[in-house]
Chain A
Amino acid sequence: MSFRTIIPFGPQHPVFPEPIQLKLAVEDEKVVEAIPGLGYVHRGLEKGAELNDYVKNIYLAERVCGICSFIHSWTYCSCIETLLQVEVPPRAEFLRLVFSELSRVHSHLLWLGLYADAFGFESLFMQCWRVRERSLDMQEAGGGGRVILSTCTIGGMRKDLDEDMRRAFIKEVAEIRRDFQQIMTPFFEDYSIKKRTVGIGVLTKEDAQSLGAVGPVLRASGVAGDTRLLGYGPYREVDFEPVVEAGGDCHSRGKVRVREVLRALDLITQALERLPEGEIKTNFRGKLNGEVFQRMEQPRGEMLYYVKAGSNRSLDRFRIRTPTFANIPPLLKMLPGCDLADVPVIVLSIDPCISCAER
């Protein structure tokens, strides 16, 4: 005699743009058990990369995820640059920072929209995506693609920003900030949003650390963990301070991301204002040899690349530890005991990117 409803939540499900399955056991509307089923977007990318020429892998790495594709290509390139011991020109480094923060802006806006959608706030979703289009326009103008830029390359960047563009960018960033500030208050104050998110999906500081949460999930639980603090690239030269919230619930995770958008816009302006003159690309030569780890902060948290190369043009080993992968154990910790209606909100609150988690 059981009162449980067993629901296949996904893979094809309107709240998940990406397929993932949660086998939910629900009593009344309380979730008593959640078992994830993965593998719907596993493309075998890491293995595919081992078959490729290492230069081609830039484009492959970009397509780990279409959302923060730029940071993937940056991380990959910086791995290869380390192996080849290539000096990247400072202007290229600053440009990389601009684009990587830009992708953080668009990723967070995208997420805020989907998050709003998960609790049925359609108009807010629309507004977030509307503002996001401005950042996409910037990417397209500066990089050539709306989401997948293909501008980062080994040794630097493929496209430069001319002076007009730089100024236009600074202005545009200010406008995005203005637009965003108009629509961001609900995430902090709206009654119905609070009702849906405060105290939902709580992850304590201890759990966050012991389960290895990363990125905004970690920071929303009160831990100031951010790989950018390591000061890779030009991060050591700009003013940066991670955004931390103490609540540990969905509401805090939302707030962290809202504030990070503002911080990212700030970083972009800083970088653009101090953009050094000079080359954007160093030519490189030489053989790959050895292995390297590289960590960088994605919109969703810390990501880790491992590249091992022998002496030929393809890689021996290529591994990516993506942030969503790290955030799934905390997610499974949060789900049991919540209401069915909370499931989309909680799942989205870690900003799952299945395509990166499964590669």
Chain B
Amino acid sequence: MSFAFSVAGILAAPFLGGLLAGLDRKITARLQGRKGPPIIQPFYDVIKLFGKESTYTNRHQVFYIYAYLLWMAMALLLLLTLQDFLVFVFALTFAEISLALAGFSTRSPYSHIGSNREILQILASEPVLVFLAFALYLASGSFMAGGLFLLGEPLLRNFPLIFAAVLLILTIKMRKSPFDLSSSAHAHQEIVRGVTTEFSGRYLALSEIAHWVELVIILFVVFLFWVDPWWVGILLALAAYLAEIVIDNIFARLKISWMVATAWGWGFGLSLLNILYFTM
């Protein structure tokens, strides 16, 4: 895809992500029998946050919050320009680690625990993405995501188990039940707002935007499973997204140990199995 397209994509991603988040809140409300907020509610929230006083607890926190957003954007850029998938995974990891470090830097027990859970979430989700990179290679002979477009058959056909694993980490990445552990939009949990407890004003807004970008990224990853014709991929991504929202509403939040066990047991296991099956 062209460079201009990617730049446009990066600029559009927060909007798309915000809309998706708004859709999520609306649908969640409807699933619960409520009317719910308007779809553009997330934008109201973020704009408001930009207008609020920003406090910080120390200076590195600020750096790492910016790093979170920037590297998320970097990951998106790498993904949209269909670069090396492994490099994309690394950039994504950098972004998430920045978030964890921003939480760590504050010395608040709540964000500290949130950060610890955040790195456990990285631990749970990163392997699957790396496996996906391998799947990409096995399918197309290159780690470049662009290779998929030349394949002629959807990735899903040969790697259904990895697709299942990606769905699993989609839940983790979206920070939704049963995995809304490190931080969640709804406050009612044991570690208050987790990683973002100590963010405020503009910094909270930045992390929120980064989260939207992350949402777009991960849905794009789902999309990669069926790039040709492209609309099937988009439908696939949307379907996965809707399924996640429903799952969010029919599950209790589970524990961090359970998450790691599941992600490593099922996510890791399924992916590896798929790869071994394919190569054997």
Give chain A's interface residues, CB within 8 Å of chain B. 5-9, 13-15, 26, 29, 116-127, 130, 190, 192-193, 195-196, 339-344
Find out whether the CB atom of A120 lies under 8 angstroms from the CB atom of B188. yes
Would you mind naming 23 contact pairs between A and B with Cβ atoms under 8 Å apart?
A5-B112, A7-B109, A13-B192, A14-B187, A26-B113, A116-B252, A120-B178, A120-B189, A120-B252, A121-B177, A121-B252, A121-B253, A122-B28, A122-B188, A123-B28, A127-B33, A192-B177, A192-B178, A192-B252, A196-B255, A339-B257, A341-B181, A344-B190
A71→B76 CA distance, assembly (Å) = 59
Nearest-neighbour CB distance to chain B for A18, whole angstroms, equals: 14
Question: Is residue B186 contacting chain A, with contact meaning CB distance below 8 A?
Answer: yes
- Determine the chain B residues whose CB is within 8 A of the CB of A192 once the complex forms: 177-178, 251-252, 254
Contact residues of B: prevailing secondary structure: loop
A36→B202 CA distance, assembly (Å) = 36
Asked if A340 meets B190 with Cβ closer than 8 Å, knowing A5-B112, A121-B252, A193-B252, the reply is yes
Give chain B's interface residues, CB within 8 Å of chain A. 28, 31-34, 109-110, 112-113, 177-178, 180-181, 184, 186-192, 248-258
Find out whether the CB atom of B252 lies under 8 angstroms from the CB atom of A123. no
A13→B249 CA distance, assembly (Å) = 23
- Determine the chain B residues whose CB is within 8 A of the CB of A341 once the complex forms: 181, 190, 253, 255-256
Nearest-neighbour CB distance to chain B for A38, whole angstroms, equals: 20
- Determine the chain A residues whose CB is within 8 A of the CB of B257 once the complex forms: 29, 339
Q: Which residue of chain A has the shortest Cβ distance to B184 in the bound complex? A: A120
Asked if A196 meets B254 with Cβ closer than 8 Å, knowing A15-B189, A118-B188, A341-B190, the reply is yes
Question: 8 more A-B contacts (CB under 8 A) besides A121-B252, A193-B252?
Answer: A5-B112, A29-B257, A121-B177, A123-B249, A192-B252, A195-B252, A195-B258, A196-B255
- Determine the chain B residues whose CB is within 8 A of the CB of A7 once the complex forms: 109-110, 113
Contact partner of A14 (CB less than 8 A), chosen from B34, B109, B192, B255, is B192
Q: Which residue of chain B has the shortest Cβ distance to A341 in the bound complex? A: B255
- Determine the chain B residues whose CB is within 8 A of the CB of A125 once the complex forms: 188
- Determine the chain B residues whose CB is within 8 A of the CB of A122 once the complex forms: 28, 32, 177, 186, 188, 248-249
- Determine the chain A residues whose CB is within 8 A of the CB of B184 once the complex forms: 120
Q: Which residue of chain B has the shortest Cβ distance to A200 in the bound complex? A: B255
Nearest-neighbour CB distance to chain B for A173, whole angstroms, equals: 21
Find out whether the CB atom of B187 lies under 8 angstroms from the CB atom of A190. no
Of the listed residues B28, B251, B254, the one surrounded by the most CB atoms of chain A closer than 10 A to its CB is: B251
- Determine the chain B residues whose CB is within 8 A of the CB of A116 once the complex forms: 252
Contact partner of B255 (CB less than 8 A), chosen from A5, A121, A127, A339, is A339
